[in-house]
Amino acid sequence: MKLKNKFILNQLKRFMSDSFWSLAALMLMNIVAQFIVYPFWSRKFGDEIYGNIVYIMSLINIFAVSIGIATNYARMAESAKRETVNGDYNRVLLGGSCISAFICICVVIISNLRMSVIDLLLIGLLCILTMWRYYADVDYRLNLNYKGYFSYYAIISLGYLIGCILFWVSGCWTLALIPGEFIGLVWVLKTGKTLKCKPFQVGNKYNENKKVIFSLIVANLISNIIFNGDRLLLQSLLGGTAVTIYYLSSLIGKTMSLVTTPLNSVIIGHLAQYKGNFSKRMLNIILGVTMVSVLAGTMIAVLGSHCAIYILYPSSFSTVKSYFFIANMAQVVYFVTNIITTILLRIAKTNCQLIINAVYAITFLGMCIPATVIYGIDGFCVAILLVNIIRYITAMLFCYLKVGKKKGY
């Protein structure tokens, strides 16, 4: 019994340590991006052009995050069953790089945002580099090397700071981020253990792995289109100023939602090592913790918004402060649901992710578009909160159904 308790305590200590390094890593990077890079853009260009840049970044994030994270998570999930090889995943990323960069450039042209040819090429490059950066931290996660994970994101943050100088000198907004994404990839190839070995050699489970990757890519595309849908929808229906208003009102909530990426990386890394079963009691605990987290996270985000937006965007504060509560709560519900869907990856097949996000997409289209058309930004805020609550309920129901089925309830 003493040995068992000691083992559990050691595992808990390791989980907490890994969570700390992972959280510190991505919080550092996102603080630099959200509170240094983005305000630089805002001060340089003003609300309308800044809203257009946020819109373009939403396009990049849809593809970069969806393909990069999906490939990353697919490899982590498969590593619990067997040894994985680089080529199975790198070949998918190569194809995804070409397709996503092309689509981003085409959408920017169609949207008539008046970007130069150089800007368009750099937008495509930024999309590709960001996608590979999201995937590349898998090297540290496969080896549970979260101190290395921290150094990776610290280097990216340093690259962003260098990029801010390049942007301020050149006026080319994409140069604020490109150096960080590039330096991060160079760093992981230099310090990592896995990704530099036979990068394009495939294994005998290549076709099976592709199915898992593509399933997760589709699920993530749906989720990230909706997550960035606030900017896409508001840009299309109300214009760049509306994008800026909602972006700023939900900024702290979105920043907090980025906590789920490092936390999920630790959760899935440790779940890959866990061979036991989940019980209803465990899910009841998860339900209680997530509901408390939504309330606490919303209060923190609202208080943080009153401080941060007042300091960073003083000219916009009076316009956006009335949206702080509802906009931030929507983001907090979203990131709490992301934790549940990560746990669901361990409990059920990957097609559950697709079903959850299909429901998410249908409710988003059915509720947010008419609400925005009829009631403007106020209607959108209420609708997106309800959509995220429905996603949370759907994910929890799947967890209970899958555990109940395995246990024979």
- The reported pLDDT for the residue numbered 10 is 62
Structure tokens at 129: 């580099």
Q: What is the mean pLDDT of residues 377-398?
A: 91
- The reported pLDDT for the residue numbered 16 is 67
Q: Which of 69-78, 134-143, 285-294, 344-353 has the lowest mean pLDDT?
A: 344-353
Given a cut of 60, whether residue 274 has pLDDT beyond it is: no
CB contact at 8 A, 42 and 50: yes
- The reported pLDDT for the residue numbered 392 is 92
Helix-then-strand count for the chain, H and E: 17, 0
Task: Give percent of the chain with pLDDT exceeding 90.
Answer: 28
Highest mean pLDDT pick, 224-228, 254-258, 368-372, 398-402: 368-372
Alpha-helical (H) ranges within 111-145 are 117-136, 138-142
Q: What is the pLDDT of the chain when averaged over all its residues? A: 82
Given a cut of 80, whether residue 80 has pLDDT beyond it is: no
Q: Which of 44-53, 115-124, 296-305, 389-398 has the lowest mean pLDDT?
A: 44-53
Residue among 28, 27, 57 at smallest CA distance from 42? 57
CB contact at 8 A, 176 and 163: yes
Highest mean pLDDT pick, 50-54, 178-182, 287-291, 314-318: 178-182
pLDDT band at 201 (very low <50, low <70, confident <90, very high): confident
Given a cut of 60, whether residue 67 has pLDDT beyond it is: yes
Given a cut of 60, whether residue 334 has pLDDT beyond it is: yes
Q: What is the mean pLDDT of residues 336-343?
A: 82
Q: What is the mean pLDDT of residues 378-407?
A: 84
Residue with tokens 């983005």: 38
Given a cut of 90, whether residue 367 has pLDDT beyond it is: yes
Highest mean pLDDT pick, 4-18, 210-224, 289-303: 289-303
Burial classification of residue 223, based on how many CB atoms lie within 10 Å of its CB (0-12 exposed, 13-18 middle, 19 or more buried): buried
Residue with tokens 């931290």: 137
Given a cut of 80, whether residue 259 has pLDDT beyond it is: no
pLDDT in tens, 163-189: 999 999 998 999 999 999 999 999 999
User: DSSP secondary structure string, 355-394?
Assistant: HHHHHHHHHHHHHHHHHHHHHHHHHHHHHHHHHHHHHHHH
